[in-house]
Every structure is written in structure tokens, then in C-alpha cells.
Structure 1
């Protein structure tokens, strides 16, 4: 178990504003040995009637949460789970710290680490969105007229250009820094424009930006509108970056650990269903049809668009990429965006995911 973080003081309005400003922006049976019947025996009695409030951003990367709800995995564990939509992950931090939410999803950003440093107790407990090969769901986009004219066809051509990111101090900044470094450029060799992902296509259309790092489905939307093209994908430069994580509040992890274990078993069953629905980043077969129906039904995404996008990956054993978390933290610190000091390993609690693997069995693709 990681070292417990003790609440030093209540979140002030200023701290909450900092988090909201800096954290903004920024899925049948399981693929292991665990099915609904076995899970009921494992956790149904212990967690019967327990209520869990979960923050979502109503995005495709919340897929395991929607799957677990739709397929009854939470119910099998005895849990009554409410999925509460937020406009951004930043808005979840204060309610997580106050105990109004037990579970949330977020990007490991400067705002997140500053919230922890200020005394908000949070735990990173599982992967929710990572980018190995074929799952680079946040491509580097370039304005189509610049690409077609030959002005910007490779990363080195971005020097002095305006590049959009969702907000200052997110993991996306580290992604961009790594990609620029591959071409001998630094993060400061480009101009930064902070625009929400959903607004990137419009910014390309009116010439406000030259390039962007844009998550799906917004990247595909920009392509379909003919305003931008994909120039590079992050896994080519930064393999398996940990872009989004599942969070437990400190109180939930410490005081309701059994409920946390029940929740994680259900989440991991759903994550395995999600992974089984894809082959090299493409939805396949009946499993793919089922997942597409669940996710698009929950998010309102157009089913045809969902099948076109490059998906995020979710580790079927819940493992987070510690090296990636540390790398991004160090980048944000070097940018002067971290207030105080946080030991990354102290806020990652792998015990819930590890226990779920013990209960469900090691993941094997396509197992019933």
C-alpha cells in the first residue's frame, strides 16, 4: 500500500479554482476468469446495498464505466452506482476531496498534483486511457492548407507555429514536448494556444491555429470537415503514455476498502470486455458491435463516427504506467507549474487492481 496522504487543510476556493483552471480537458463476459456469477459470490454480499457516486466526462474513454453499468457488473457486486457527468475532470476534484464522489476520472496534470499537494486526498488506482501502438487517440493534427502546400509536413516545421492544447499544464504538454524534442525543438519553440478539444476543428477552420494535439473523436471530426490532417501519432514518439486514470477519493480507499475492491472487480471485467472488442485498434465482430452500442448509447456519439475514431487503450489488469506518470510530472515541474512537491509513487495505489486480478484471474484475450 502506498503511504497515506493526510489532509492538511480543507480546499480553499482559490485551490479549487487552480485545479479547475489547470486540469481541464484533457469501454457479455469478462476477458479473464471472472463472470457475473463468480463476482456475485466474491463481492455481492459484502457490498450489498453500497452506493458509489462516480464522476464521468461523458467521453468515449469512460467506456469501462458504461460497460460495467450496462452489463450489470456493478449490480452483480451488490453496488448501486450512479454515474454523474461533469464538463471536465477538473470539476471532480473538489467533490472527490469532500467525499461527495467516491470515484472519478482524470488526467495526471499540474492541477491534479497541486490539489494533492494542497491536501486533497486522491489515489490513482487504475488505467483509464493509455496510448500504446494502434491506440494513439490524441494525434498531432496540422491545418490542411499548411500540409497540402508543403509548409508544415514534419514536426521540425512547427518551429514558431501556433499549437493548440486543451489547457496549460496537462499531460498533453508533456506529449508535445516529447514530440518536439524528437525534431530538435523545445516546448518553447512553438506558440501555445489553450483551447478545448471540441473547439479545435473550428480553430483550424478560421486559421487561429497551425497544429494541435487533439483527442478523439474531435480529431476525426476535424479530418471529416476537411480542416486538418494527421501528421503524427504519439505512440511513435512516446509509447504507452498514461493519459487518463481512474481515481478513488482518499476516504473511499481507506475507509471503504471492501467496496473499493467490489467496484474494481466490476470495472476490470468491463475493461476486459472493452479490450476484447478491438483488434489492432479496430472494432471487430459481435463484441465490437456490443461495445459500440453501449458506448454510443451512453455518450450520444454517432455510431458511425465511433467506429472511425482511433480508440484509447485500457489495461485489462488495471496497471498504470509509472514511468509515464513520473516523466510527465517532471516535465510539468520543469515548466514551473507544480506548487510544492508530490511523490508520484505515494498517490498510486495498485492494491485494488492487483486484488481484482487475483479474483478474476490473469487476463487472456477472448476468454469467456
Structure 2
């Protein structure tokens, strides 16, 4: 409260002396500037610095990159004309990025008083991204601690199986969206689509309010007749399916409210001539689980499936055959679910398998790989993607 009173006195003294009151923030913190500005019944002589490129509505990825760019703050100060005798409120939860830090540095150099709104817990837990190595709270005349937690979130990572890290990944770059990963090979050029990436991030963010506490159970069961080594069917492969299920506390008999199923086999029943958008044999996995459990969300993880496919197990490259093979995985998953045991918080989720594995292909050493990549790049330059 003392800091808020000190800030209010500083702003009052500035306005009384003919100075101007500026407000600024990047990313989500730009909303602090909008909160001050244009309020009915509030002060009208408030000057927000709202740079669209640093806000979220154009691109989450772009604003994240730009708020870390050194030198941009000085340009903004010059464009808006902050001068001695003014005061600026700068909001930044972490207080570490180059733009808010350099905004404070540049303001002080111009004789402008600085009020910071930041999370002291967050700021003290991270390093600065500014060239000076300073953080926002170290440069302000008045610091208002918003009492936020490091990382913005306030969900206890030890409760209900909610982890501290969320990893979103395509399990195989053969089928990864080019718009997400860009060029992965000189003969397969692709451009990143930041709008798509932003849409995925938005969907993840919109799901966070629905996070609930659950009990986790896990198990592994055998499954056969799905995949084999595509070079030699006699070589060993993983013949298990793993299940991680989420159950409502106190109501396990109601069944899982969500499942993660993993099995190491490429979903390639349909073959390269099929142009349909399809989960391939995962369709049968999904339908088989739905038939027993109802419309429960299922996340399939492909696992380490190098050289493992349905080449020697599929009878024909049809949708019906894909469903048949997928239902074998579903049967294994349901069997695993019947014997599932609670996840011990002390041990965490057991993602290990017992089995025998061996390399089935020979690979070039680093020097040979670089030579081959140079040749492919040269071919791509001469022929373009159509030359493949």
C-alpha cells in the first residue's frame, strides 16, 4: 500500500507541475496501459504508449520476439516525445525483457520518473534479457509489487497431476504440419504460419480454466499383430501398449474422463497413394475405446517407432483394414486399463518398457551427413521441390 501511495503522490506532483503521465506495457501487460486510459470519470490527461507490434492481437509470437529486442524502446521514446518532468508507469510481470527495461533506462536518461508494476517473486527468479543486465524493478523510482507468482500461473503443480511443464509435439515429422515446423529438409521447403501457431497456443490457453484435480492410473499390456520391423519382420519390436488414465477423485467407478495411449508403430496402413486426411489405424483405436468407454477424449502417442510399420501385418491398404488393426491396439489398451494402478506421486509416471531393441539401419557419420546435405541443398537450388 505504501508503494501505491508513493506512486499516486508522484503522479499528482507531476501533473500539478505541468508534466505528462505516460503508461506502457508489452504483451499482456499492455492491458494495464489501456486500464488507465479513456476511463469514464477518470483522468483524461493520460498518454498510453500502445505499440500494436508489442500487443497480442496481431501475433503472439511476434510480440514475444519483439519485446525482447534491444533498441526498440529508445525508438518509442523518441516517437512519443517523453521529456523531463514527465512520469511513466511501466508494467511487466517478469521485468526481464529488453523493451520494458530499456524503456525505464531511456526514461530516466530523459529525466522522466519511472513507476514499475511488476512481480518481485517472478523478477527475482529469472535473469535479465536486456543488454544492461538490469531488471525493471532495479530502475524504477517506485516499485509496485503485483504479488504474482513466477510464470504467471497460480495452479499448484503438485496437486491433481497438473505438471509444471506442458510439451506439445508432433511425434513424427513425416506428418507434422509444415506451417508449425518450417523447412525440415532442403527438398521439402515450408513456411511457418504464425497465425496457425498462435491458434494452437490460444486453444491451449483457453483450456486452462477447465483444469481439474484428477487421480491418475497407469498400466502396460501386450498387443500383437499391429506392427513389425519394416526391413525384417524377424527383428524385435515393442509389443506393448501403455495407458495413462485420468479418474475423478472419489468416483473411479464412473470410468476415465480422459486417456493417453501409446504404442510404437507408424500408422501407415493406407499407403502413399491415399490422399485422405486420416488417423489411419488410430481410427480403430479411437472407435474401439469409444465403444467400451463412451466419448472419452483420447490422446495417442506414437512412441519410438523407428522402422516399425504395418508393412508385414496389414492384409490390404484399406480403411477397413486400418480399423481392424487399430481395434487390436484398443483391446490391449482396455486390458491395460483393467489392471491399471495408481500413479505414485513420489515415483511419477512410469514411461519405461522392458524389452530388446537393436539398430536395423546403418547411418552416415557426421562428415558424410554434412556432405549428403550439401548435395541435396545443391539439387534443391537447381531443381526446386518439383525436381524430387
The two structures have a TM-score, normalised by structure 1, of 0.24
Greater relative CO, 1 or 2 (CA 8 Å, sep 6+) = 1
Structure with greater Cα Rg: 2
The two structures have a TM-score, normalised by structure 2, of 0.23
